Structure 1
């Protein structure tokens, strides 16, 4: 169980599911809010339209009892008309309970005593302007025209006020959205009309959408989880193949094997190619290490065997002991051990020091300490500052001069200068030179081109390899080409030291 929940596939599936869930919740909440607001605005618009229609009737002088109120069953809207004294003067038929308006009364005069002179019946209130045209003595009906002509203008409220409430009509209760409009009527004073539109459609739509979301969202999340699980499984299958192959390579220690590279051009394919490149480099490094150990064992065997033989002979016959030969073998063994130790340190990643030094002064000092060279060394040294390890650079110079002395016919030339923004140390001879096809191979370890050369004269074949490795560690290069005298010219190019 822990294996599955700790896998990349499970984490990707869980992450995708959580992201989709958050997105669905946010989108669902937004949809519900937008739907609720939209339907509430529609109910407000319907209520405002109804209130405006009733106000228009009142403004035209229609009596309260003669108002054409909307049918509750057909239109679903309720109306309550309240005068300036707070009395309900008209209301929709069948209204049994109401809240959210100016009065909880559901009919004209309900819960109040009739005002003197208003001989109306419950449910109807005679307007103050009814029957007050008795001043028309002519009886020809012209008095009504005079009253209409002299009626003051009606003052209406600018904007309706909206509120929420509820109403019970014929035993069925529902929530309503009420719009309130007020008008200043002549002879009646201020009249307020409350018109309510039901919110049942809004409640029903919101409930339906909510139910659909509660059912659909979990199903959608299950689908997203399943699809993500399958997609990530297919996408990560090459990674699992790479892991299994790497596990097999580790178990078998066979670095010749390679991981499978998928036919895609994605990150997994690049990972497989990089892994194979790493395996190739590791194989080459291990093979080089094996060759190094084998060659070192072979090179060490000869001077040790020679030294042992001379010591054994000297022990049995002191007069036959070759002291000079024993010393030479010991020196050679010491130099070989030093070379092997330096190569081991370089292979381990030893970095050069940060000493600032003059390459010309270093060459001048090292050349002055050489004794016993077979050929003279000509010097052409100009100032060139570099940063690095004095001991390693001195070792490079010594190896190059030793190699030149070994192959020179009459002389060796050492020069130091600055060329193309780099410090260049050049060591040349007038010998046979290096064939062009062998100019890279000579920098390999334990490589000697002249197999006929005596071992004592030729060395172990590590000098140029050490020189190349030191040059690389110092950020430089070591190359060979033909010298002006026809021999070999080795050039060590290093970065110049930055100006202080």
Structure 2
């Protein structure tokens, strides 16, 4: 089955389509221009002939009214003149003009006089080649002046102009098509360079960037935008690789511990304390489970591209009360009604991670407060974090070597999950000195 013309057109290259479109528009414009030019030229030349003929007729009428006409009548531009008296007889003519038959009959002369405009007349019946433009004026004593002028030269000039346009217009269209083809090809050359650069980019390339043209045009903006996208993709890939590498490193320790405990237990079953072994294996398994859960949470955050899973009104004060109730050592010092836009489960996880981090390192107390301006604070009285490390701990798999690390420490992903979740909700999170201890401050925009 043959494709439709539209389908065939869509399969053609951009260069071909632009060239054809530009040529078609030019051909249409030139055709309209040529038609208008010939029409205006014809009208202008005819009006010029009519005006000149009318002036000759006016001069003859003045002489006829004054009775000073001579025979033959003399004209300097080839105008044919007949003076007809009240009885319809031709009394005066120009040299070589018929003295017996008027150029226009009585009825035709009356019609031209009434309209006041020149009329077209075939001159061949009067032995005059080509058409004539005829003007009729009335004079005194019932006389009528009929003046005519051949316009064969005008028609010849118009025909010549038409032939010139007929030949020149297609030549101009072809010339423009060739010029358009070359110019469009030169314009699309940077795009071809972008395509080649994209084809040359491999997964293992150190610097995956596209060539940026020197011209400050749309192609330059496109190349810059694409390079920005490639930079973000490269950064995301590097983060993904780092995450996989760090996750593999974190998984290796509990897996090695489980394997060692089981190998020792199986190697010496008679002297093994099996409940103790089971507790050790369970502890490492729980560590693996927490790590897998945190990795899944980060993967979901990365997949959503920094956007909450849902955007719905969340009563943050209810989330705070429900979470704090699960921690016996925690105390709720303030809990004002606060409504924010976001995902309740994600916000609950933020507070849970902060509470786990605080209870893991506190000496005696954990205080939680939520104020009406959307500020959530979680403070402990533990050893705190040095100021130079308070931003670094938000990185993934970051654990400090200070007194805040213990054998039952976290995976190093809790604060990273907090930071990315809060940012996805349009808020901020910082760590401050609680003197003593550490205070986590979360600011979330209120729902409007």
| Both structures adopt the same fold (TM-score exceeding 0.5) | yes
**1:494 lines up with 2:444 in the alignment:** yes
Aligned to 2:130: 174
**1:69 lines up with 2:21 in the alignment:** no
Partner of residue 234 from structure 1, selected from 186, 196, 202: 186
**1:162 lines up with 2:113 in the alignment:** no
- In the TM superposition, 1:383-398 aligns within 5 A as 383-398=337-352
Q: Mark the CA change 1:461 to 1:100 in structure 2 (over 3 Å): closer, same or farther.
A: farther
Aligned to 1:40: 46
- The alignment's C-alpha RMSD in Å is 3.1
Partner of residue 360 from structure 2, selected from 397, 403, 406: 406
Deviations 1:140-173 (A, max 9, x none): xxxxxxxxxxxxxxxxx79843111132499550
CA deviation after TM superposition for structure 1 residue 378, in Å: 5.0
Partner of residue 16 from structure 1, selected from 18, 22, 25: 22
- Alpha carbons 1:377, 1:414 under 8 Å: kept: yes
- Alpha carbons 2:381, 2:436 under 8 Å: kept: yes
Aligned to 1:301: 252
CA deviation after TM superposition for structure 1 residue 339, in Å: 1.2
Q: Mark the CA change 1:98 to 1:399 in structure 2 (over 3 Å): closer, same or farther.
A: farther
- Alpha carbons 2:358, 2:378 under 8 Å: kept: yes
Partner of residue 105 from structure 2, selected from 96, 102, 106: 102
CA deviation after TM superposition for structure 1 residue 431, in Å: 3.5
Bigger shift: residues 14-23 or 285-294? 14-23
Query: How far apart, CA to CA, are the structure 2 residues paired with 1:428 and 1:270?
Result: 48
**1:456 lines up with 2:413 in the alignment:** no
CA deviation after TM superposition for structure 1 residue 300, in Å: 2.3
SS of residue matched to 1:434: coil
SS of residue matched to 1:492: strand
Aligned to 2:375: 424
TM-score, normalised relative to structure 2: 0.85
CA deviation after TM superposition for structure 1 residue 411, in Å: 2.8
Aligned to 1:338: 293
Query: How far apart, CA to CA, are the structure 2 residues paired with 1:218 and 1:496?
Result: 69
CA deviation after TM superposition for structure 1 residue 4, in Å: 12
Aligned length: 430
**1:415 lines up with 2:369 in the alignment:** yes
SS of residue matched to 1:491: strand
SS of residue matched to 2:319: helix
- In the TM superposition, 1:8-407 aligns within 5 A as 8-62=14-68, 66-70=70-74, 75-95=77-97, 101-102=104-105, 160-168=116-124, 172-185=128-141, 190-250=142-202, 253-254=204-205, 256-311=207-262, 313=264, 316-317=269-270, 319-322=273-276, 323-349=278-304, 351-371=308-328, 376-407=330-361
- Alpha carbons 2:74, 2:95 under 8 Å: kept: no
Larger radius of gyration: 1
Query: How far apart, CA to CA, are the structure 2 residues paired with 1:61 and 1:99?
Result: 21
- Alpha carbons 2:122, 2:130 under 8 Å: kept: yes
Query: How far apart, CA to CA, are the structure 2 residues paired with 1:38 and 1:469?
Result: 78
Query: How far apart, CA to CA, are the structure 2 residues paired with 1:158 and 1:104?
Result: 11
CA deviation after TM superposition for structure 1 residue 393, in Å: 0.8
Query: How far apart, CA to CA, are the structure 1 residues paired with 2:153 and 2:359?
Result: 106
Query: How far apart, CA to CA, are the structure 2 residues paired with 1:285 and 1:3?
Result: 40
Query: How far apart, CA to CA, are the structure 1 residues paired with 2:196 and 2:116?
Result: 76
- Alpha carbons 1:477, 1:492 under 8 Å: kept: yes
CA deviation after TM superposition for structure 1 residue 5, in Å: 7.9
Structure 2 residues not aligned, in runs of 5+? 1-7
- Alpha carbons 2:72, 2:94 under 8 Å: kept: no
- Alpha carbons 1:359, 1:385 under 8 Å: kept: yes
Query: How far apart, CA to CA, are the structure 2 residues paired with 1:496 and 1:45?
Result: 85
CA deviation after TM superposition for structure 1 residue 191, in Å: 2.6
Name the structure with the higher helix share.
2
Q: Mark the CA change 1:361 to 1:453 in structure 2 (over 3 Å): closer, same or farther.
A: closer
- Alpha carbons 1:79, 1:196 under 8 Å: kept: yes
Q: Mark the CA change 1:417 to 1:98 in structure 2 (over 3 Å): closer, same or farther.
A: farther
SS of residue matched to 1:447: coil
Deviations 1:467-500 (A, max 9, x none): 11211222222222333x24332222212112xx
Deviations 1:403-462 (A, max 9, x none): 22233344322111134xxx1111223334333433332222111122787663221111
Query: How far apart, CA to CA, are the structure 1 residues paired with 2:65 and 2:102?
Result: 26
TM-score, normalised relative to structure 1: 0.77
